[in-house]
Structures are given as C-alpha cells and as structure tokens.
C-alpha cells in the first residue's frame, strides 16, 4: 500500500497540473481569439522536462521542473523586438478591452472549473456526516439557544444544510459580523420541527487556533460504541491473551468500562503495562491480563491491544448521508456553492487584511498536499470537491490587486481606462518589485504556517 506521503504527493501534483493548466489555458485561448500571437505556453517554471512546437504560430508548449505555477508568454514590444508585419499581433498594441479579456480569462477559467467540479460532484453524490448535534456543554451559546442532543440541523437562516460541512460553511458565512442571533431550524428526535436562535456574536469564527463550533457548543453526534471485540489485528495482544470475538469488556484494572472510547482511554496511556480485563462471554465473567504494545503515533508512544469494535451499523448509517441531485438542480446548487465559497473567501481575505482573522488561516503547499491526499483517500467525490475549492481560491487570489498577479494588471488597465493612457513603465516596474516582496512575504508566511502544523 502506498504511504500517506506518496498518496499526498501524487494527489497534489495531479491537482496542480489540472488547476494550472486550466488557468493558463484561459489566458492562452482568449489571447488567440483576440489575435495575439502566443510564444510559449508553460506548465511549471525552470528547466523544461518536455517541450513541443505547435503548428499555429510555432507556439512552444513546455512542461517544466518546478510545478508551482505556469505562464503564457505573448508577443509584446516591451519584452523584445517585434517584426513590423506582426506589430498588430503584439499584446501591448491590442485595445484595452482585448488586454483586459486576456488577463481576466485565467481566473474566469478557474471559476468555470469550480462550477463544473461542484456540478459533477452533486450529480455523482458526495458523502458526508449528517448535521446531528451531539453533547451540548452547559453555558455555551448552543445550550442557551436550547439545542439538545440529537437535534438535526435542517437549515441556518433559511439555507439548507445537508451535512456538517454545509452547516459549518453556512454558519461562518452567515455569522461573520452578525450581532443578532441566527435562526436555526432543527428536527427533534421525535420528528417535530423547532427553531433555535443561536448567538454567534462572541465566537471568533475565523480563528484558526480554535474550533468555532466547539466554542458555540455544537458538537458532532456520534453513536456510543460498545466495548465489544469485533475484529483483531494480526498478532494482537488481546488475541494472544485469550480474548475472543464477541467478548464485551466490562472492566479494566477494576475500573468499569461503559463503551469503546473509555476502553481506548484506559489502554493508550499504558504501553507495555499489564492491564487486568474483565469480559462478559456467553453470560459469564472472565478475567484476562493483556499488555498493550507500544506504538508510535504523532510523535508519542501509545498502547494498543489490537482490537476493533463491533460497529452498530444502524446507528452509523444514521450518521452518514449522501447528497445527490438531478443534473439541472445540481447545476443550480453548483453555482450557489461557488458563490458561497467565493464570498466566504473574500470575507476571509478582508478580515486578514484588517487584522480581524488569524494569519494562521493561510496555508501553503505542504498543507494543500496533505488535504489533497486526505481527500483522495476518502474518495473521488471528496477529491473533486477539493479541486473545486482550490480552483476558487486560486481564482480569488489571482484577482487580488497585487502587481504581478492578474488583479494587479487589471488595476493598471482601470487607471488606463480613466486617464486614457497606459500607466508609465517605471511605475509598473516599481509595482512589480513591490509585488515580488508581497508575494514573497505571503509565501514565507504560508510555508512558516505549514512547517508549524507539520511539527505539531
């Protein structure tokens, strides 16, 4: 079986290849449509690994060694000599609307990819966790609003929530800068419908260091798993000690065990320490001594006895949900999800700039690779959903008004539209230098956050 690192690396490279090629193809396609000569279409930077010359305009198609971006190089008098008969095909000689269309085409291609990916996922169906509320701690906003265990969240401020992911996105989107309580419609365990008014004003919904849902008191409901042996791992300490399938562990070191979570809490801290178990088998109480094997997990040694629980399938089926729509309805949902995630991303960026959101929210290639691997491991539906989210993020990032990014060029074009003449070249050079500094700082912060998460 491939290691998590290999899966993450492969999933990350595939995602990068798709996202970069779509973005650059947007620039490339529109440039050709408005009559600009394209010299190079490159996926990646640095040393070329593969290249081919196209039949139209002898455009050079390249795959380069560093996969963290790409570019489309066009004929431009500012970058080299242009023959007299080709001056009309140079980027700098095209009208403002044509240059604007070329620059916008990259981010727009990523928005289109996001809509298509969400549409595909919603037609295929995407699995998720049902938005059923678990334990509600006293004194939290959820407790004050009247939430009870096993309340199923149906909608937040009128927006339907089929999964916990939907509930999280909607609550953050609706809760940012909100001062009045948010109406939340829930289905009670008896089937009745009720409304809770949830106050989110005191919660930091964009703080990366805390889970806003935990602060609000909204935890995921999980069925209680009995401490019954459902399976053994090969050579497990429990099987060697004499435990059998179907045994119910009722005590450990004379401490009563009520469920599998309590059993784990007893075993993990006792690596290589003998534990006296009492089990119920065929109505009889039997005693066994089991010594958990030491295993490295997240940098620490924990004890394992090598058993898996007997899962209550009916309860777990209740936790799971698969959201699926017919094609036309799925397309509407895809546009809605694209809009919701775009506005949420923009809100996050604004909060970061004004200092109202933690800079820890910024992620770099290492975190993105981990997310790619995790989503690919869960299933193709989650991986496509991941692609849609990253494509949206790439589109929004490129539209930021930073020189060197598409948004920076659009700012120059806006000035040109107002003044009637291009921004002076010396100012563009200064802007380019500023853009390099800003992007460098952003990349440093992203890598710093990634390394910090990786070392935890």
How are beta strands 38-53 and 307-309 bridged, if at all?
unpaired
Are 422 and 50 spatial neighbours (Cβ–Cβ below 8 Å)?
no
Residues written for the chain: 456
How are beta strands 152-156 and 159-160 bridged, if at all?
antiparallel
- How far, in Å, CA of 456 to CA of 445, rounded? 17
Nearest to 184 by CA among 167, 201, 169: 167
Active site residues: 24
Facing residues of 307 across strands? 232
Residue 297's Cβ-side half-sphere holds a number of Cα atoms within 13 Å equal to 10
205 sits in which H/E element: none
DSSP 207-260: -TTS-HHHHHT--B--PPPP-BEEEE-TT-HHHHHT--TTPEEEEETTEE--SH
- How far, in Å, CA of 285 to CA of 280, rounded? 5
Nearest to 184 by CA among 193, 195, 192: 195
- Residue 190 three-state SS: coil
- How far, in Å, CA of 446 to CA of 141, rounded? 33
Nearest to 307 by CA among 232, 246, 239, 237: 232
Whole-angstrom distance between the N-terminal and C-terminal Cα of the chain? Answer: 26
- How far, in Å, CA of 406 to CA of 401, rounded? 8
- Phi, psi dihedrals of residue 276, rounded to the nearest 5°: -90, 115
Q: Which residue do the tokens 């006792």 mark?
A: 270
């Amino acid at each position: 079986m491939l290691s998590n690192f290999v899966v993450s690396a492969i999933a990350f490279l595939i995602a990068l290849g798709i996202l970069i090629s779509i973005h650059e193809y947007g620039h490339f396609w529109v440039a050709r449509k408005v009559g600009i000569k394209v010299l190079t279409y490159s996926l990646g930077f640095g040393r070329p690994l593969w290249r081919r010359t196209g039949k139209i305009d002898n455009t050079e198609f390249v795959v380069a060694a560093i996969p963290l971006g790409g570019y489309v190089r066009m004929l431009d008098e500012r970058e080299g000599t242009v023959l007299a008969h080709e001056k009309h095909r140079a980027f700098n000689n095209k009208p403002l609307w044509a240059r604007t269309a070329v620059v916008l085409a990259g981010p727009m291609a990523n928005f289109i990819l996001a809509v298509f990916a969400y549409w595909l996922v919603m037609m295929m169906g995407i699995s998720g966790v049902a938005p059923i509320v678990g334990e509600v701690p006293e004194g939290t906003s959820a407790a004050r609003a009247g939430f009870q265990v096993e309340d199923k969240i149906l909608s937040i401020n009128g927006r339907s929530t089929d999964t916990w992911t939907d509930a999280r996105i909607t609550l953050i989107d609706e809760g940012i800068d909100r001062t009045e309580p948010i109406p939340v419609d829930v289905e009670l365990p008896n089937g009745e419908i009720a409304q809770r008014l949830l106050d989110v004003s005191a919660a930091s919904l964009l703080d990366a260091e805390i889970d806003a849902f935990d602060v609000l008191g909204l935890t995921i409901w999980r069925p209680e798993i009995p401490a019954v042996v459902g399976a053994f791992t090969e050579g497990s300490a429990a099987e060697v000690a004499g435990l059998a399938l179907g045994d119910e562990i009722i005590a450990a070191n004379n401490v009563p065990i009520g469920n599998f979570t309590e059993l784990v809490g007893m075993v993990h801290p006792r690596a290589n320490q003998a534990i006296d178990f009492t089990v119920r088998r065929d109505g009889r109480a039997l005693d066994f001594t089991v010594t958990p094997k030491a295993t490295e997990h997240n940098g620490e040694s924990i004890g394992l006895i090598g058993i898996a629980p007997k899962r209550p399938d009916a309860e777990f089926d209740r936790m799971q949900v698969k959201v699926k729509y017919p094609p036309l309805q799925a397309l509407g949902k895809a546009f809605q999800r694209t809009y919701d995630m775009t506005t949420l991303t923009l809100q996050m960026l604004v909060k970061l700039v004004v200092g109202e959101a933690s800079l820890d929210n910024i992620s770099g290639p290492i975190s993105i690779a981990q997310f790619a691997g995790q989503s690919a491991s869960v299933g193709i539906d989650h991986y496509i959903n991941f692609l849609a989210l990253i494509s949206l993020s790439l589109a929004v990032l490129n539209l930021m008004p930073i020189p060197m990014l598409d948004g920076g060029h659009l700012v120059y074009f806006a000035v040109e539209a107002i003044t009637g003449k291009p921004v002076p070249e010396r100012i563009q050079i200064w802007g380019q230098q500023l853009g390099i500094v800003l992007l460098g700082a952003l990349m440093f912060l992203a890598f710093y956050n990634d390394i910090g998460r990786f070392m935890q």
